[in-house]
Amino acid sequence: MIRLCACGQKNHIPPKHLADRGKCGACKAPLEPQSEPINADEREFDEIVSASPVPVLVDFWAAWCGPCRMAAPEVEAAAKELAGRALVVKVDTEKHPSLAAKFGVRGIPNFLVLKDGRVAFQQAGLVRSGEMVRWVERA
């Protein structure tokens, strides 16, 4: 994953360190843990889930889905609150239907929490960020 520093330097962050604090390779400024949802394709999804030492909250969504659009700010809020303790990944079910099928997603938005690569929790439907945070904390 590439993280851009305020100095303009692009820093390559291995998936296993996305939840860690780091330093910019150029200016040595601190790089905070990932605090925004990551839009992932199949390859990125597998890399993140297999390497992450922290739980991963996944949001299965689609652009045409009204409840998914309503959930987006809640997912962003959860990502900010969980920074350093979990990662948040968004999967567009229109672009990556095989990932949705792999997890039995039949309705969206659909959320799941993965811990050590295994499903710890899954639920469909619109929820607030506080509920998403509680799912991750229980994992």
Domain ranges of the chain: 34-138
Question: What is the tens place of the pLDDT at every residue in 37-89?
Answer: 999 999 999 999 999 999 999 999 999 999 999 999 999 999 999 999 999 99
CATH class of the structural domain 34-138: alpha beta
Which residues neighbour 46 within 8 Å (Cβ) at sequence distance 6 or greater?
none
Distance, CA of 93 to CA of 98 (rounded, Å): 8
**Which sequence positions are flagged as catalytic?**
65, 68
pTM of structure: 0.94
